[in-house]
Amino acid sequence: MKKCYCFFTAQYLPSIGGVENYTYNLAKELVNLGQSVIIVTSHEKDLPFYEVQDKIKIYRLPTKKLINDRLPILIPTLKTKKMLTRLVGEKIDQIIIQTRIYPLSLLGASFSFRNKIPGLVIDHSSGYLSFGNSFYDIFARIYEKVFTKVIKSYISDFYGVSGRASGWLKKFDIVAKGELYNAISPLNIEEEIKKSKIDFRKEYNIPDGGKIICYVGRLVSGKGGLKTVKAFNLLNQNNEFDNSKTYLFIAGDGDEFQEIKRIKSKNVILLGKIPHPDVLKLMMESDVFVFPSTYPEGLPTTLLESGYLGCTPVVTDAGGMKEVICQDSLGIVLEDAKIETIKEGLIKALKKKDYSNLTDDSLKNRILENYTWKIIANKILDIKGDQL
């Protein structure tokens, strides 16, 4: 039976981020399964307030963005009222709220309650909201607690994008109904890779037998990019390896970029922010994926993509990463994010004789069996209205 699913999400494409990509991919898969999908999000400059993309209806409500554009606040204009009135007439069957910390999340929860439409919240964090500023973060913690309490008064059903995210909800006296994992689309990955025109090994003169380690992510405190470079610099001082044949590629940008540029050794290649097809191509050509994050992750898409493409992961126990790398044979989960620990993890990964992209598909198979958008979309379809 065809249903109409309505997502409330603070930001959406072309805005770039994990939640935005999660929303798009899940919405697209629901459409592929014959469902109807609506996205309610913040208005972006030069974009229409309403349009249909990929058979998905998009309502962009007037908002004002605060704190480096990270906190969209709904503006109660006549335009807003008209759009919400139109939304009521859409005959929505279920509401899906992305995260519980934004004013648009609260709008979705109250809209669900007032219109007696079943709703759920998907939480994407495993730690308190942070704006990277200690002053802001004091108020952010209070804000998050109060906001969550208000949303709980409207919505009772919460899910996490990982077991870690579900566990974090207990901090707010919420028992999650289960997990709606972050995921990948194998077909989309294969199609995206074909769009990439670069051969990284050829472009950067990687010698025969050379090993590539890749880091993909924002270069900001907590994500581990700077620590990765420092660990690699130590690795290059290790006589166990041919230093001329071990390379670290950094794909991403952020506050730490200039510091990384200043301290990097000659075999560290800074790519900056590159298109997603090139990111996937880099992962496909790499031997090791490193992501020593201490950030309150949900479940990083890059871990799933790199695992599917055959990289040996060297990651921290952040977010749901240990849920994916649930045994030693699948990769390396670091005890902490200290530079020396990261270095030892890289050594262990580089010493591995049989790389998963050549002979061992166990991690790839685990991802295909548990973390695809088709699996997650079908879980959404299985959630009955009286369960929401």
Residues 80 and 214 both lie in one domain: no
- How far is residue 50's CA from residue 38's CA, in Å, rounded to a whole number? 11
pLDDT computed for residue 235 by the predictor:
87
Residue 36's SS3 state is strand
What domain count does the chain have?
2
* Cα separation, 380 vs 56, whole angstroms: 17
How confident is the model at residue 169, as a pLDDT? 96
Note whether 269 and 124 are same-domain residues: no
Q: Which residues contact 1 (CB under 8 A, 6 or more apart)?
A: none
Q: Are residues 154 and 37 in the same domain?
A: yes
Kindly report the backbone phi and psi dihedral angles of residue 179, in degrees, each rounded to the nearest multiple of 5, phi listed first.
Answer: -115, 135
Indicate whether 214 and 347 sit together in one domain.
yes
Contact 299, 162 (CB under 8 A): yes
State the pLDDT at residue 128. Answer: 84
Same domain, 310 and 354: yes
Q: Are residues 124 and 272 in the same domain?
A: no
CA–CA separation, 42 vs 46, rounded Å?
A: 12
332 plus 198 within the same structural domain? yes
What distance in Å separates the CA atoms of residue 312 and residue 315, rounded to the nearest whole number? 10
Predicted confidence at residue 240, as pLDDT, reads: 64
Q: Are residues 32 and 112 in the same domain?
A: yes
Give 207-263 as a 3 state SS string. Answer: CCCCEEEEEECCCCCCCCHHHHHHHHHHHCCCCCCCHHHEEEEEECCCCCHHHHHHH
How many whole angstroms separate alpha carbon 113 and alpha carbon 295? Answer: 33
Give the pLDDT of the chain (388 residues) as one tens digit per residue: 899 999 999 999 998 888 999 999 999 999 999 999 999 999 988 999 999 999 999 999 999 987 666 788 899 999 999 999 999 999 999 999 999 989 999 999 999 999 999 999 999 988 887 766 777 788 888 989 999 999 999 999 999 999 999 999 999 999 999 999 999 999 999 999 999 999 999 999 999 989 999 999 999 999 999 999 999 999 877 666 666 789 999 999 999 999 999 999 989 999 999 999 999 999 999 999 999 999 888 899 999 999 999 999 999 999 899 999 999 889 999 999 999 999 999 999 988 744 444 346 899 999 999 999 999 999 999 997 544 4
* Whether 128 and 212 share a structural domain: no
Residue 326 and residue 242 in one domain: yes
CATH of the domain at 240: 3.40.50.2000
Q: Bridge partners of 73? A: 64
Q: What are phi and psi of 48, to 5 degrees?
A: -70, 155
| Residue 279 belongs to domain spanning | 186-370
**Same-domain status, 178 and 191:** no
Residue 29 and residue 9 share a domain:
yes
